[in-house]
Structure 1
Amino acid sequence: SGDRCRTPDNRPGECIGIKQCSPLIALLTQTTPVPKAVLEFLQKSQCGFEGRNPLVCCPIQNEVTTPSSTAIRQPENDVPIDASNHPNVRLLPLNICGQYNSDNKVWNGEKTKLFEYPWMVLLAYNRDGWNRQSYRCGGTIINEKYVLTAAHCVKDLPSVLSLAGVRIGEYDLQTDPDCMENENGDSECANSPIDYRIETTVPHPSYSPSNLQNDIALVRIRGKINFRTDSIKPICLPIGSDQTRNLLGQKLIVSGWGTTEKGTSSNVLLKVSVPVVSREKCESVYNRSSSLHPIKISSHQICAGGENDQDSCDGDSGGPLIFKGEVNSRPRFVQYGIVSFGPRSCGIKGFPAVYTRVSYYTNWILSTIRP
């Protein structure tokens, strides 16, 4: 461990690499863009270099655990409620969800093919004083009436913003229609994307922005989504044995347009594979000495990525983390996670992103949706 030092706010600290200092990492990752005051605090925190890497004076965490961090701890034997016999399973289109339309190889930040991930949704927002809408979050189609996204995309929005609608069947934001060449060299085109208005949004009743737990929400659209086109299909939810699958070490897929508060960073839908990281490893990264924001990773979350220079930067805030699963004993794509939070700078090496673990919420989803 590093030399003793004093933080800019005069607390005792030790001089260590910023990646070992989760209070400062937490400050950096909570908001985008990073406030000027935070950047100044970081500059003042600098206390030397190790090679080319700057060291920071990291506040020393007193060994007293704060009530907020212990309250979140789920018991270790905590397992999801099996949703396979829920009466509302009938509202899920199990026969057509999560179909494979690709060769399953995922490289980093690679463009998807047209029709590959037809469940992807963009959430459009109105901003006071602007006459055009902007995309600031993603989501997925789960049936003809509902889109799954993160609670932070629909609740406690800045007062100037309001959720306006969802766009489905999109692939390349710059072209309409979207076309690609098929094996025979012929051009194959998708139908134009469709914009739906919103009937209601249902954030999880226990969503807490302060501790980032239960970051999941449902958006019910006006009208009904038609699945007769190749560019619009639903994703499968984890049900039954998929709810308790051990994903540790597996490479899951994040897809998106890189949508965050700043808008989209790619015109074409991208995909990137991210390895699932253990809770312990993830928590130690975020909590080396976190007194500022004790970030607890609960069993209701998944950590993934941070292994190389890619992270869910290509993903959308509120968008999906998917993997092959089994539905009606057929291989299908199942959504295991929702992009919740993490280093917005595309995963600083060694910093995984944190996703809401959908399998713990399948029961809530089924109890919340209605025909």
Structure 2
Amino acid sequence: MAGSARVVWLLLALNTAAAMEGDSCVTPHQRMGSCVQLDTCRPLMMLLEGPRPLDPRAVDFLRRSQCGFVSRMPLVCCAQPTTPSTTTPGQTAPLTDPLVDVTGDVKLRLLPLDICSPPAQNRIIGGNKTALFEYPWMALLAYDTWRGIQFRCGGTVINKRYILTAAHCITNLPPSQKLVGVRLGEHDMSKELDCVDDLEGQICAPPYQNFTIEEVIPHPQFSKSKLQNDIGLIRLSRDADFSTDSVKPICLPIGEPQRETLEGKKLIITGWGATETGLASDVLLWTTVAVVPLDKCAAIYQRAVPISEAQICAGGAARDSCGGDSGGPLMYVGDVDGEVRRMQFGVVSFGPKRCGTAGQPGVYTRVGAYMDWILASMRP
């Protein structure tokens, strides 16, 4: 072991934990594990094999993982992975990498926590149509296709230059489909100007904002076949304009909200995608979906793909996200600097071919499991 890895090995040796090799232990993220030699623990070795220099957070996690010694060499507490081949019905694969609490991350300054997820305007349209200005972080991804420019995926604004979406929306695209732009501040695609009648008279939103793309950043471990790590970022070619009510960023889970399972709770999904009639909606829609236990979800999808702790399963009833909602948000409320605000906990990834199929939940990428990657991938 060379370079930065030797430094980490020496740091581990400074600790004084006293477990023996093979003993049970608890990881820094409160998961049961075994005390083993570092080179036999794949999740921690992946941290060492990452970009140089090693992230200080990775070094800190390794230090806190140290649990004992063998022949004067330090041992680490390793949560052993469960591979798809040995996963039985009801089991889920653990996180590929340890979940990193980003509370102290210096790059949090890139997230506008002071203005994210502003309160919803009380201008309700009715039914499952959203109100004007209600979800100002919604983004539409534009593709050049043989039918012309079409919007085929969604996303969310997380700061003036970055859109959070699904990796499958930005990489490994078919030859006939090229991602060419992003639209923000849209509500009703059938109208050039969105207006609603209010008690104060007619209220109109500013024109939507169109952007070209400077960079696409799919997660490096995205697997199209297994639909794992289905998360990505788009860097816009210029700053989004936050001076209007129609374009604002959404809050992301930081600290304790990163670990919330939300099991049994009803979360909100929004999008312009296909509805139960099979047609795309011109108007931004919303609905609620109940979170499904991961073990139940894993049993449902066991013949198709593995389900991991880096995912959330929700829905599987008459209301669900559908094709065209990919990359959009799964939302609930969370604490941001002592205030309760709407927060994005998931990114729409995949689900049954027929939307709203009973007993078949949609699968969402868990944003909290990727906050360290999101911040590391962003730049001013």
Deviation of residue 122 (structure 1)? 0.3
TM-aligned CA distance change 1:183 to 1:242, over 3 Å: farther
Deviation of residue 161 (structure 1)? 1.2
Matches of 1:358 and 1:135 in 2, distance apart?
Answer: 23
TM-aligned CA distance change 1:141 to 1:214, over 3 Å: same
Deviation of residue 74 (structure 1)? 4.2
| 2:313 is the counterpart of 1:298 | no
- Structure number with larger C-alpha Rg: 2
| 2:235 is the counterpart of 1:220 | yes
Deviation of residue 163 (structure 1)? 0.4
8 Å contact kept, 1:254–1:315: no
Question: Counterpart of 2:73?
Answer: none
Question: Counterpart of 1:162?
Answer: 178
| Greater relative CO, 1 or 2 (CA 8 Å, sep 6+) | 1
Q: Deviations over 1:267-313 (max 9, x none)?
A: 000000000000111112223xx2xx3x211000000001x311113
Matches of 2:372 and 2:155 in 1, distance apart?
Answer: 19
Matches of 2:229 and 2:124 in 1, distance apart?
Answer: 31
Match of 2:347 among 326, 338, 348: 338
% identical aligned pairs: 49
TM-aligned CA distance change 1:348 to 1:259, over 3 Å: closer
Matches within 5 A, 1:128-167: 129-130=146-147, 132-167=148-183
Matches of 2:95 and 2:173 in 1, distance apart?
Answer: 33
Matches of 1:296 and 1:334 in 2, distance apart?
Answer: 26
Instruction: Give the AA of the match of 1:96.
Output: I
Matches of 1:321 and 1:178 in 2, distance apart?
Answer: 24
Structure 1 unaligned segments of length 5 or more: list them: 1-65
TM-aligned CA distance change 1:324 to 1:73, over 3 Å: closer
Matches of 2:178 and 2:125 in 1, distance apart?
Answer: 34
TM-score between the two structures when normalised by the length of structure 1: 0.74
Matches within 5 A, 1:104-253: 110-127=128-145, 129-130=146-147, 132-184=148-200, 186-253=201-268
Question: Counterpart of 1:37?
Answer: none
SS at match of 1:152: helix
8 Å contact kept, 1:257–1:314: no
What root-mean-square deviation, in Å, do the aligned CA atoms of Structure 1 and Structure 2 show?
A: 2.6
Matches within 5 A, 1:68-107: 68-70=84-86, 74-75=93-94, 80-102=99-121
8 Å contact kept, 2:268–2:287: yes
Matches of 1:249 and 1:346 in 2, distance apart?
Answer: 21
Matches of 1:327 and 1:106 in 2, distance apart?
Answer: 28
Number of residue pairs matched? 294
Matches of 1:214 and 1:77 in 2, distance apart?
Answer: 9
8 Å contact kept, 1:300–1:360: yes
Matches of 2:225 and 2:102 in 1, distance apart?
Answer: 29
Matches of 2:191 and 2:265 in 1, distance apart?
Answer: 35
8 Å contact kept, 2:230–2:365: yes
